[in-house]
Structure 1
Amino acid sequence: MDWNYQQPVKIIFGNGKLSALKEVIAELGETDGILICSRSFRKSGLADKVMAEADGLLTAVYSDVSPNPEVSEVDACAELMREQGSKFVVALGGGSVMDLAKAAATIATVDDSIRLYHGTGKALPETFLPLIAVPTTSGTGSEVTSVSVLSDYETGKKAPILSPNFFPAYAVVDPELTYTCPPTVTACSGIDVLCQAIEGYWSVNHQPICDALAIHAAKLVFEHLPVAYANPTDATAREKMAEASVIAGLAFALPKTTSSHAMSYPLTNLYGIPHGEACGLTIDYFAKVNALLETDGRVTAFAKAIGFTDADEMANAITALKKQIGLRTDLTDLDLSDAQIDELVQLSHHPNLENNPVKITDDILYDLFGTLTKKDIYVEQP
């Protein structure tokens, strides 16, 4: 097989590494940076701590970031960057903050709206501000990827934008920053890590370096996520989940995600299910379907590589893990109508679905939603 591997992000990992931020900025060689973070970090004082660590090299803050970052927020942040003359960006937070920061760091260099590039296929400008990513959750892997997922409330669209611009220059990964994550965030982000690893492995774009990373990350999640959820200050569990997040990010950055991520977007857009939980909702189902229909045995091989006898045993372990960490395993509480299920099936035909190792038909999707809603759903055959 032919394959390529690229990872331009310099990763600085370890407890207390936030204190190295000034050194990282000095290595970047820029001044007058902007900090992008959530409103909660401005209230908690973490933003002030980061500003202090930067020792005057950060001169502006943007914190109007939604859980599903919106195109208007990107444009507003980019406008602030232009006004302040920002030369680099520090993104402090989870995937939402990093998604916004990546897009704004490019749009700030031109007089455009991100709407011109969101789901349109139009190539982004080649200019961008360098980005230092400082994750505060163990979940998205966004600190090492070249994708930004944005929403447009006017059109109801949620879609990723891919660009080499979006690779951060540095990722400063300090597991201690995840200690204050609420259990629900730990659970949602942690199951997202597992989905990224599994989907990166079975993606049609798989390659051997990412395969090895996916196996490593998945093993860590099964072992350490339950502990991090139950005991948020367990240093080993937090460190290993931070490691899993980075490694899973590397594992899917090139192969890209597949079926579970494709289905997560309408579940989040229409029903507000958090991204990680929405991905995890279907990953056990697709493990069984992909293993049943595949011709090369890769799904089964992955299950065995992480310690299971077959894909069914792995899928059942995923279901048990979701229950253990308080994540939903069905959609019965939404009481979805047939029309709503039809809509979800159609919207699940996201481009990521094409990365799945087997073709996902409408019949498969209706079967899945029948399982999730505990309904008998009959599909009229042509």
Structure 2
Amino acid sequence: MNWNYMQPVTIRFGNGRIKGLAEEVKALGGNRGILITSPSFVKRGLAAKVQKESEGLICVIYGGVSPNPDIKECEACISMINDHECDFVVALGGGSVLDCAKAAAVMCQEERPVKAYMEDASLLPDTSLPLIAVPTTAGTGSEITCVSVLSDHEAGVKKPLSCDAFYPTLAIVDPELTYSVPPHTTACTGMDVLCHALEAYWSKHHFPIGDALAVHALKLVFDYLQLACEQPEHALAREKMAEASVIAGLAFTIPKTTSAHACSYPLTNLLGIAHGEACGLTIDHFLRINGAEDDGRLLELAKMLGFKDVEAFADGIDSLKRTIGVRTDLKDLQLDKEQKEALVQGSKHPNLLNNPVEITETMLRDLYRKLW
């Protein structure tokens, strides 16, 4: 097996690490920065607190990033970066904020509209403004990946873009910033961690370092996700889920995600299901599909995680989902014929090609039939 590994992001992990923001910015040579975040952090005062921690180096705040960020939000960030002549970016928030900020930090260097890059990712520049990513959820791993997921809501498109320039310069992972995340969001983002790790492990492009990282992250999810949901201020559970998120991000960056993420895009874009919850909806089903043609790797993984076989592993994921209160089917939505067909067709995403078993349209129909 030939494989390559690169991880250019410097990681600062630990409780209270956000207090070192100013020193990190100075080390990067930043003078005028923008803080990109979501409305909730502006309203709660966390954005202002982080701006204060920068000792005046953050000169402007964009606080309009929504879940599943639209290209118009990215355009607004780019305009603010250029208008204020910003020379660095700080992203504070969940995966949506980090993805929007990563895209803006790269795309601000040219005059093309964001839509152009959505249509042709080969146009993306190969450099970025220095970006400090500060995650506030334990889920996406976006703070250390080269992927940015953006939506064009007018066109009904949600698309992951990938290029090396999207790697943040620095990730400050402070578990204390996740304490205020409500239980359901903790559950959804935790399922995203599980899917990142498991899909990285079974991806056609898996490699030894990624495998080891995936196993570590999966163990942490099974040990601490339920506790983090039930006791939001449990320091150890929050720390371990933040660790799991980073480690799973490292695991999937190179092999990429597969079938569960492919299905998540239409589930989120068409039905409004949160990303992590949408990924988790199908992950155990794909585990059974992949396990049926397993060469022994998934059986080995199941045993490493304390399950007797792949079926028990899939049952364990289903049980975890029910315990933490995330969606396990689509029955309550009463989907019509057109919606059902849109889900099937929308799931025929390039990520399916990374799955170890070929996923046909018939298989997608059978899977969704069980869910609805």
TM norm structure 1: 0.96
Q: Residue 217 of structure 1 corresponds to which residue in structure 2?
A: 217
Look up the equivalent residue of 1:142 and give its one-letter code: S
Q: Residue 67 of structure 2 corresponds to which residue in structure 1?
A: 67
Cα offset, 1:241, TM superposition: 0.3
CA contact (8 A) 1:193 1:248 kept: yes
Instruction: Give me the whole-angstrom Cα distance separating, in 1, the residues matched to 2:202 and 2:224.
Output: 23
Instruction: Give me the whole-angstrom Cα distance separating, in 1, the residues matched to 2:7 and 2:122.
Output: 24
Query: Any residues of structure 2 matched to 1:327-338 within 5 Å, and which?
Result: 327-338=326-337
* 3-state SS, counterpart of residue 323 of structure 1: helix
Q: Does residue 363 of the first structure (1) align with residue 362 of the second (2)?
A: yes
* 3-state SS, counterpart of residue 122 of structure 1: helix
Instruction: Give me the whole-angstrom Cα distance separating, in 1, the residues matched to 2:40 and 2:356.
Output: 40
CA contact (8 A) 2:67 2:96 kept: yes
CA contact (8 A) 1:260 1:279 kept: yes
CA contact (8 A) 1:119 1:159 kept: no
Q: Residue 297 of structure 2 corresponds to which residue in structure 1?
A: 298
Q: Does residue 91 of the first structure (1) align with residue 91 of the second (2)?
A: yes
How many residues are matched?
A: 372
Instruction: Give me the whole-angstrom Cα distance separating, in 2, the residues matched to 1:347 and 1:135.
Output: 29
Q: Residue 187 of structure 1 corresponds to which residue in structure 2?
A: 187
Query: Any residues of structure 2 matched to 1:106-145 within 5 Å, and which?
Result: 106-145=106-145
Cα offset, 1:297, TM superposition: 2.2
Instruction: Give me the whole-angstrom Cα distance separating, in 2, the residues matched to 1:278 and 1:119.
Output: 24
Instruction: Give me the whole-angstrom Cα distance separating, in 2, the residues matched to 1:171 and 1:127.
Output: 17
Instruction: Give me the whole-angstrom Cα distance separating, in 2, the residues matched to 1:122 and 1:7.
Output: 21
Cα offset, 1:88, TM superposition: 0.5
Instruction: Give me the whole-angstrom Cα distance separating, in 2, the residues matched to 1:237 and 1:126.
Output: 38
Q: Residue 343 of structure 1 corresponds to which residue in structure 2?
A: 342
Look up the equivalent residue of 2:318 and give its one-letter code: T
Q: Residue 177 of structure 1 corresponds to which residue in structure 2?
A: 177
Q: Residue 317 of structure 2 corresponds to which residue in structure 1?
A: 318
Alignment deviations for residues 208-243 of structure 1 (CA, whole Å, 9 cap, x no partner): 000000000000001100000000000000000000
Instruction: Give me the whole-angstrom Cα distance separating, in 2, the residues matched to 1:276 and 1:229.
Output: 14
Cα offset, 1:342, TM superposition: 1.9
Q: Residue 288 of structure 2 corresponds to which residue in structure 1?
A: 288
* 3-state SS, counterpart of residue 222 of structure 1: helix
Instruction: Give me the whole-angstrom Cα distance separating, in 1, the residues matched to 2:244 and 2:357.
Output: 26
Alignment deviations for residues 23-48 of structure 1 (CA, whole Å, 9 cap, x no partner): 11111111101000111111111011
Instruction: Give me the whole-angstrom Cα distance separating, in 2, the residues matched to 1:344 and 1:314.
Output: 26
Cα offset, 1:66, TM superposition: 1.1
Larger deviation, residues 330-339 vs 309-318: 330-339
Query: Any residues of structure 2 matched to 1:2-151 within 5 Å, and which?
Result: 2-151=2-151
* 3-state SS, counterpart of residue 61 of structure 1: strand
Q: Which runs of 5+ in 2 are unaligned?
A: none
Cα offset, 1:123, TM superposition: 2.5
Instruction: Give me the whole-angstrom Cα distance separating, in 1, the residues matched to 2:176 and 2:131.
Output: 21
Larger deviation, residues 191-200 vs 104-113: 104-113
CA contact (8 A) 2:121 2:162 kept: no
* 3-state SS, counterpart of residue 109 of structure 2: coil
Cα offset, 1:336, TM superposition: 1.7
Q: Residue 272 of structure 2 corresponds to which residue in structure 1?
A: 272
TM norm structure 2: 0.98
* 3-state SS, counterpart of residue 118 of structure 2: coil
Cα offset, 1:337, TM superposition: 2.5
Instruction: Give me the whole-angstrom Cα distance separating, in 2, the residues matched to 1:304 and 1:341.
Output: 36
Instruction: Give me the whole-angstrom Cα distance separating, in 2, the residues matched to 1:180 and 1:134.
Output: 15
Cα offset, 1:128, TM superposition: 1.8
Q: Residue 245 of structure 2 corresponds to which residue in structure 1?
A: 245
Instruction: Give me the whole-angstrom Cα distance separating, in 1, the residues matched to 2:338 and 2:70.
Output: 27
Instruction: Give me the whole-angstrom Cα distance separating, in 1, the residues matched to 2:338 and 2:310.
Output: 32
Q: Residue 206 of structure 2 corresponds to which residue in structure 1?
A: 206
Instruction: Give me the whole-angstrom Cα distance separating, in 1, the residues matched to 2:257 and 2:203.
Output: 7
Larger deviation, residues 176-185 vs 363-372: 363-372
Cα offset, 1:166, TM superposition: 0.6
CA contact (8 A) 1:119 1:161 kept: no
Q: Which runs of 5+ in 1 are unaligned?
A: 374-382
User: Percent sequence identity over matched residues?
Assistant: 57
Look up the equivalent residue of 1:235 and give its one-letter code: A
Instruction: Give me the whole-angstrom Cα distance separating, in 1, the residues matched to 2:82 and 2:336.
Output: 47
RMSD: 0.9
Cα offset, 1:305, TM superposition: 2.1
Instruction: Give me the whole-angstrom Cα distance separating, in 1, the residues matched to 2:184 and 2:19.
Output: 27
Instruction: Give me the whole-angstrom Cα distance separating, in 1, the residues matched to 2:287 and 2:329.
Output: 16
Alignment deviations for residues 65-101 of structure 1 (CA, whole Å, 9 cap, x no partner): 1101001111111011000000000000000000100
CA contact (8 A) 1:264 1:278 kept: yes
* 3-state SS, counterpart of residue 150 of structure 1: strand
Instruction: Give me the whole-angstrom Cα distance separating, in 1, the residues matched to 2:113 and 2:301.
Output: 42
Instruction: Give me the whole-angstrom Cα distance separating, in 2, the residues matched to 1:244 and 1:176.
Output: 15
Look up the equivalent residue of 1:40 and give its one-letter code: S
CA contact (8 A) 1:116 1:122 kept: no
Cα offset, 1:306, TM superposition: 1.8
CA contact (8 A) 2:227 2:234 kept: yes
Q: Does residue 168 of the first structure (1) align with residue 194 of the second (2)?
A: no
* 3-state SS, counterpart of residue 267 of structure 1: helix
Larger deviation, residues 326-335 vs 341-350: 341-350
